[in-house]
Structure 1
Amino acid sequence: MKELIQSGIQWGHVDFTLSDVLIVILVIAIAQLLIWFLRVLLGRVFRKTNIEEGKRFMILRLLRTLIYAISSAIALETIGVDLTLLWASSAALLVGVGIGLQNFFNDVISGFVLLFEGGVRVGDELEVDGMLVRVERIDLRSTRVITRYGNLIVMPNGLISGQTVRNFTQGDTASMLEVKVGVAYGSDAKMVERILIECANAESLVIRRKETAALFQDFGDSSLNFSVYFWVNQPWSRRVISSNIRFRIDEAFRKEGIRIPFPQRDIHVIASEAE
């Protein structure tokens, strides 16, 4: 039995014994056991410290990758593989691959920044490149977001960290919205102002502690142009909120006899001298 365990095995230019194989299996088993132990231990720590889900995922993945890398190095050394020569021979390949994977590494580094800087968290509502999204998950290379239409989008982390992102969830969560309306010339401007403010404040999702304002913006070609500004805490529902306020404005204008005009032009016909 002892001779069988110590008998040599040749694989290419590498010589190893059956005992080396058993050690490799033992190293892999210990690595798996260590990963399981860390997952259980860190799970308890995370529950006590309220660490965000994205950071939990990243920490566990980093530790697992580190354990696998160390155990793989030990296993290769055990069967006689010279890691120094292996790294030297693959250096040129790594340089070439690194050049081709610049965007990948940029996304990975951006993932670390997003998770540990805390500027973006799971559940945050963001405006990215003019699009309103909710963060579902932050991975090492990409972030999964949901649009208002229920579509899942996978965004590279470099896209989020490389541009200005508006976060509606952190800090002051109130957002100002605007509803525009035009009324016919001859309308009572002060009455229009009062109606706009009342209609906006009648919406349950409008913040009362912040001032709602109606402004007379301009004299248009066919209308007196107004805007009403109000604050909400739910940017995800801003289209619904604005729609509700428009319905109220239309109803109030009809009741008060205020018309919303359509574009019109006055045409003057000049008769020729022959006529």
Structure 2
Amino acid sequence: MNGIAVDTLLTSLGLVAAGFTGAFLLYRLFRWLATLADRSRFQIDGLVLRIVGRPISVLVALASVNYALFRIPEVQAQFGAWSGAQNALLVITGTWIFASLVKAIVREYGLPMAERTDTDVDERVVRLLDLTAVYLIWTGGILIAFREIGIEITAFIASLGIVGLAVALAARTVLSNVLAGVTLTADRNFRVGDRIQVGDYIGDVLEINLHKTVIRTRDNEIVLIPNDVLGKEVIINHMLPEQTTRIEMTIGIAYDADVDQATSILQEILHNSDRIHDDPPPEVNVAALGDNAIVLQILVWIDRPRGKRSVRDTVYRKALSRFAEAGITIPFPQRTLHLAPSAQNVSLLADGSAAS
């Protein structure tokens, strides 16, 4: 078989098979130990075992392959004829192990942490970082391996830099949205489920993607806002620092009405509402003396920003009913016309001409 002794070849194949079998058993052993460690007081032990288990198993398997190859004289001669080939193989082996270790850390540590957050953006960012890190590791390992076997890599690195710059310039808007999305995700003042106001839009945050944020308005419309726009706009979060929010209402009563009685009726209505808080207590103040009415201002605190219109509707309806029972009128705009004497004379002359 191409000058390779059969017994040497069979021995090498047996070493490879034994190495892979040992690597598999070692991997299963690490998983079993990690399961036992999870039940202990310190769960970090199980996490460490799961992270290092796969790279060590890969190392055992690759070590068996390397040993099986280099014990064959013909293979040694081929590697000896190509300067640096053995070093390049060791670099590729180390790259594989390092990339496996990074993936294990991300899978066992990074993703579980991201899954515990309110949004799926953390998971996407972690997966993106994992993919980027693995590509960078393999790119660096391959370049080092090329250098070991005498291939010039300077021009290749320069080409990669030019290509990366061109991609960054072409995708600067996308990158801007992604960076803004990462910033929004890390901001504790902005979460999925919050009711926010951005410009003319008021709605609930449904999703924060890498490039856009989705909100549902009060009219049940879906609005997609680019993340870089949110990074520049003023955002009002109606859910923070807590969901309790204040409502202002106004109601006018006639000038001949009893202000104290109207205030007492309104206070009774407010204190008997399920959604209106007693602490801070509701307030009823005389806000202005209008052209047609005494304007009473009502300030109340409710449990959450959603449903403000329902609270206003309930208060106004009960106020209409109770004021009607108490004889308190809610005036409508009125105008009193005063005719000047000259205008009255003209009116009388016009009436006399018509009579004749």
Residues 160, 88 of structure 1: CA spacing in aligned structure 2 closer, same or farther, 3 A cutoff? Answer: closer
- Provide Cα deviations, 1:110-148, integer angstroms capped at 9, x if missing partner: 212211132201122222225332111111121111122
SS in 2 for 1:236: coil
User: Where in structure 2 are the equivalents of 1:57-206 lying within 5 Å?
Assistant: 57-67=123-133, 69-70=135-136, 73=139, 83-90=156-163, 93-94=166-167, 96-97=169-170, 101=172, 103-206=173-276
Q: TM-score, normalised by structure 2?
A: 0.58
Question: Does the 8 Å contact 1:55/1:116 carry over to 2?
Answer: no
CA shift, 1:162, in A, is 2.2
Tell me which of 306, 315, 336 is aligned to 1:245: 315
SS in 1 for 2:159: helix
CA shift, 1:239, in A, is 1.2
Identity %: 19
Q: Which has the higher contact order (CA 8 A, sep 6+)?
A: 1
CA distance in 1, matches of 2:307, 2:104: 42
CA distance in 1, matches of 2:168, 2:183: 24
Counterpart amino acid of residue 273 in structure 2 = E
SS in 2 for 1:235: coil
Q: Tell me the residue number matched to 2:287.
A: 217
SS in 2 for 1:53: coil
CA shift, 1:87, in A, is 2.8
Question: Does the 8 Å contact 1:200/1:245 carry over to 2?
Answer: yes
Question: Does the 8 Å contact 1:132/1:236 carry over to 2?
Answer: no
- Provide Cα deviations, 1:209-245, integer angstroms capped at 9, x if missing partner: 2111011111111111111000012111111111111
CA distance in 2, matches of 1:138, 1:32: 30
Tell me which of 297, 300, 303 is aligned to 1:233: 303
Question: Does the 8 Å contact 1:76/1:83 carry over to 2?
Answer: no
- Output the aligned Cα RMSD: 3.5
CA shift, 1:202, in A, is 2.2
Residues 83, 208 of structure 1: CA spacing in aligned structure 2 closer, same or farther, 3 A cutoff? Answer: farther
CA shift, 1:91, in A, is 6.3
Question: Which one is further off, 164-173 or 248-257?
Answer: 164-173
Q: TM-score, normalised by structure 1?
A: 0.73
SS in 1 for 2:307: helix
Residues 45, 114 of structure 1: CA spacing in aligned structure 2 closer, same or farther, 3 A cutoff? Answer: closer
Q: Tell me the residue number matched to 2:83.
A: none
Question: Does the 8 Å contact 1:212/1:231 carry over to 2?
Answer: yes
CA shift, 1:67, in A, is 4.2
Counterpart amino acid of residue 156 in structure 1 = P
Higher relative strand content: 1
Residues 162, 96 of structure 1: CA spacing in aligned structure 2 closer, same or farther, 3 A cutoff? Answer: closer
Higher relative helix content: 2
Q: Tell me the residue number matched to 1:20.
A: none
CA distance in 2, matches of 1:226, 1:171: 29
CA shift, 1:72, in A, is 7.5
CA distance in 2, matches of 1:52, 1:113: 15
CA distance in 1, matches of 2:125, 2:166: 29
CA shift, 1:263, in A, is 1.0
Question: Does the 8 Å contact 1:121/1:135 carry over to 2?
Answer: yes
SS in 1 for 2:306: helix
Q: Which structure: larger Rg?
A: 2
CA distance in 1, matches of 2:215, 2:279: 31
Residues 130, 253 of structure 1: CA spacing in aligned structure 2 closer, same or farther, 3 A cutoff? Answer: farther
Counterpart amino acid of residue 218 in structure 2 = R
CA distance in 2, matches of 1:202, 1:131: 33
Counterpart amino acid of residue 128 in structure 2 = L
CA distance in 1, matches of 2:335, 2:125: 67
CA distance in 1, matches of 2:217, 2:174: 24
